[in-house]
């Protein structure tokens, strides 16, 4: 900073004002300082600045499992929007372990991060008290937190189940089944409730043995399809609550010589890139991950605390491909 000040012919305090934009500096002086900064390739010491103003310009992002494709999309979007605001992102992976989740959150709070975007792992989370006591702003993303005054940006998961069921019913299916995610995660129960209620509203049946609890991975999709078909040979449609399980189910159906969609219609959820690459291309429920991430970052940086910002619920979309309708138009 002294070198910049010397080259620009100003004081170090003037350089500081230009960098931090705390007090207005006249245009000519500002231009000299910026030219000197560029010439010397000067970069402010963010750690030192953080110690002075109690801000390290750091945002924390805690997710249940960063290997999951859906969370990869959230990471990419959140990072873009955070970096564009001049902040850095620290990513915490809980590996679906409540002990790790608790330690990660505690560590971020101790580091005095400027805010945290958080997706809880399940009902087993033990971090609610930490969040309640925290002075750091927390925004819940994807998975809801049962904490008053914590803003949420989530999907209408009940509506996702309704959308899946309505699509399959519109195609004439009477006997349907579902591979859920872990049912200790609230959104999985909501998706199942929307799916089940819609089916029952049409005076059709979705019994407990037409439901298989998966783990959001390929293997549980594969095993789920095998199990459901062994119990119900007359199933004509199957919805898996994420695309990875749906692709696992597709593998099982092919191994057992079931034609998709001629014999069994298959749907996923998330609209991952891979869902259009498999054959047949997968009909799926779209989650607006980029919009979800953008709104979470906007709320985190907002100085206002509007009541309407406390709970943003985004709508799912239906993407119809060949796994439910032969020669369907791609959307």
Report the CATH number at residue 180: 3.40.50.2300
Last residue of a domain, one of 250, 267, 287: 287
53 has a pLDDT exceeding 80: no
Q: What's the CA gap between 200 and 188, in Å, rounded? A: 18
52 pLDDT more than 70: no
Structure-model confidence comparison of residues 178 and 151, the more confident one: 178
Banded model confidence at residue 43, pLDDT cuts 50, 70, 90: low
Tell me: do 224 and 279 sit in the same domain. Answer: yes
pLDDT (average), residues 149-153 = 89
| Whether residue 254 sits in one domain with residue 279 | yes
On whether residue 25 sits in a domain, the answer given is: no
Pairing of strands 237-240, 211-213: unpaired
What is the pLDDT, as a whole number, of residue 330? Answer: 39
My answer on whether 137 and 161 are in the same domain is no
Q: Per the domain annotation, does 162 fall within a domain?
A: yes
Residue 129 in contact with residue 143, Cβ under 8 Å? Answer: no
* pLDDT given at position 306: 56
> Is position 327 within any domain?
no
Which band of pLDDT confidence, cut at 50, 70 and 90, is reported for residue 305? low
Query: Could you tell me if residue 82 is inside a domain?
Result: yes
pLDDT higher than 70, residue 304: no
Confidence of residue 51 (pLDDT cuts 50, 70, 90): very low
Shared domain check, 283 and 169: yes
CB 151 within 8 A of CB 310: yes
Percent of the chain with pLDDT over 70: 92
C-alpha span between 241 and 187 (Å, rounded): 10
Q: Which domain holds residue 214?
A: 157-287
Same domain, 161 and 283: yes
Please report the pLDDT score of residue 46 as a whole number. 47
Per-residue pLDDT reduced to its tens digit, 223-280: 999 999 999 989 999 999 999 999 999 999 999 999 999 999 999 999 999 999 999 9
Query: What sections of 143-278 are H helices per DSSP?
Result: 157-170, 186-201, 218-231, 243-255
Mean pLDDT of 159-173: 97
Residue 46 included in any domain: no
- pTM of the predicted model as reported, rounded to 2 decimal places: 0.80
Query: Tens of pLDDT along 90-143?
Result: 999 999 999 999 999 988 888 878 899 999 888 878 888 888 777 888 999 999
**pLDDT score of 45:** 53
Name the CA radius of gyration of the chain, rounded.
25
Q: What angle do the packed helices 243-255 and 218-231 form, to 10 degrees? A: 50
Residue of 160, 163, 129 whose CA lies nearest to 146: 129
Of 32 and 110, which is predicted with more confidence? 32
What residues have CB less than 8 Å from 99, skipping those under 6 apart? Answer: none
Residue 152: phi and psi, rounded to 5, are -125, 140
User: How many structural domains compose the chain?
Assistant: 2
């Amino acid at each position: 900073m002294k070198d910049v000040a010397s080259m620009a012919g100003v004081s170090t305090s003037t350089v500081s004002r230009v960098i931090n934009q705390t007090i207005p500096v006249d245009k000519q002086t500002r231009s000299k300082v910026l030219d000197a900064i560029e010439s010397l390739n000067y970069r402010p010491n963010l750690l030192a600045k953080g110690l002075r103003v109690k801000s390290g310009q750091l945002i924390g992002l805690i997710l249940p499992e960063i290997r999951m494709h859906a969370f990869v999309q959230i990471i990419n979007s959140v990072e873009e929007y955070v970096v564009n605001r001049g902040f850095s992102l620290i990513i915490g992976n809980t590996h679906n372990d409540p002990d790790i989740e608790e330690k990660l959150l505690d560590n971020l709070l101790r580091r005095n991060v400027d805010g945290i975007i958080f997706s809880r792992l399940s009902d087993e989370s033990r971090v609610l008290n930490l969040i309640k006591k925290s002075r750091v702003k927390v925004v819940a993303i994807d998975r809801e937190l049962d904490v008053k005054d914590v803003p949420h940006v989530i999907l209408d998961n009940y509506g996702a189940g309704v959308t899946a069921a309505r699509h399959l019913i519109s195609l004439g299916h009477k006997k349907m089944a579902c591979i859920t995610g872990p049912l200790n995660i609230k959104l999985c129960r909501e998706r199942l409730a929307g799916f089940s209620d819609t089916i029952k509203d049409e005076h059709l049946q979705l019994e407990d043995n037409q439901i298989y609890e998966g783990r959001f991975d390929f293997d549980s999709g594969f095993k789920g399809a095998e199990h459901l078909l062994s119990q119900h040979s007359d199933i004509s449609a199957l919805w898996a609550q994420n695309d990875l399980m749906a692709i696992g189910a597709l593998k099982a159906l092919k191994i057992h010589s079931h034609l998709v969609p001629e014999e069994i219609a298959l749907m996923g959820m998330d609209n991952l890139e891979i869902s259009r690459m498999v054959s047949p291309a997968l009909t799926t429920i779209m989650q607006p991950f980029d919009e979800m991430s953008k709104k979470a970052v906007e709320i985190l940086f907002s100085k206002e605390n509007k009541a309407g910002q406390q709970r943003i619920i985004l709508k799912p979309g239906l993407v119809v491909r060949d796994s439910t309708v032969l020669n369907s138009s791609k959307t």
